[in-house]
Amino acid sequence: MQLPIPKNPLYLNRYKQLLANFKKTTSYQETHHICPKTLGGADTCDNLIKIPSRIHFIAHWMLWKAYETDKLAYAFWAMCHQKKIGQEERYSKINSKTYALLKERRSKLISKSNSDRWKNLQWAKQTSANIKAAKNKPKEKEKQRKRMIAQNNDPEFRQKIIDGRKLKFADAEWYANYKQLQKVKAANRIKPIIVDGIEYPLATSVATKYNISIATVRQRIKSKTAQFSAWSYKSQQYAPPAAAPGM
């Protein structure tokens, strides 16, 4: 794909030579647009190339020097600061003059982008509402906290809570269902343990057997050392008892 006429042809020539003569490698590579999207490039096979991360970094540097646009400056700024896994080999040392120029261009681009956003009335209205809601959130939380404190300090309100609990527990059917639900929850928490091929129903059984604490039992199960490789939770999950009707 043909590149547009640059402001500085010297750096464009260097850019072309860089892509033509870089040393190919089988290690980590990144996809690069020969003609950047900001200059009219497309996601086509003839405009995409796989290059090492360091060459990718230098290529964006050359493009910025050749065209000196704000968007290319921003792209190179991102190459300097936004590294991902596998991009550690990028040569990201730039001098103070280059840094200052990049910083200025990036600032202008962000300022223009924000200005254009606020011209969109729908976006501006929604953003203003979000900012207002975020400012009022601590005030609403404080109001809610004070309401809860006032309720808890009100003897009449506290008595209503106590009376409600008494009525629930006085209901034989509700209480039976409640107890059954507690048993179901307890059964779901049970994790049988295998130690040296022997199954133990609970961590307390293992702790008693080896005269150690339950916390130590769990640490040994989670340990990845060879010494405790025979310690593990049983993979088979026991089916908990069915919940009582109406729960």
DSSP string covering 58-88: HHHHHHHHHH--HHHHHHHHHHHH---TT-T
Q: For the sheet containing 198-200, what is the strand order?
A: 198-200, 193-195, 231-233
Instruction: Using DSSP, state whether 113 is helix, strand or coil.
Output: helix
Task: Kindly report the pTM of this predicted structure.
Answer: 0.44
How many C-beta atoms lie closer than 10 Å to residue 161's C-beta?
11
Which pLDDT score is estimated for 243? 45
Which pLDDT score is estimated for 215? 87
Domain limits of the chain? 9-119, 190-237
| Element at 31 (helix H, strand E) | strand 29-33
Q: What is the pLDDT along the chain (247 residues), one digit of tens a residue?
A: 678 888 889 999 999 999 988 888 777 788 899 999 888 888 888 899 998 888 888 899 899 889 988 888 888 888 777 666 656 556 666 777 777 777 787 788 778 878 888 888 888 888 888 888 888 888 888 888 998 898 888 888 888 888 888 888 888 888 888 888 888 877 777 788 899 889 988 888 888 888 998 889 888 888 878 888 888 888 644 444 444 444 3
Which pLDDT score is estimated for 238? 40
CA distance 144 to 58: 56
For tokens 């506290």, what's the residue?
158
Nearest to 34 by CA among 44, 25, 24, 26: 44
CB 61 within 8 A of CB 101: no
Amino acid at 185: K
Which pLDDT score is estimated for 92? 62
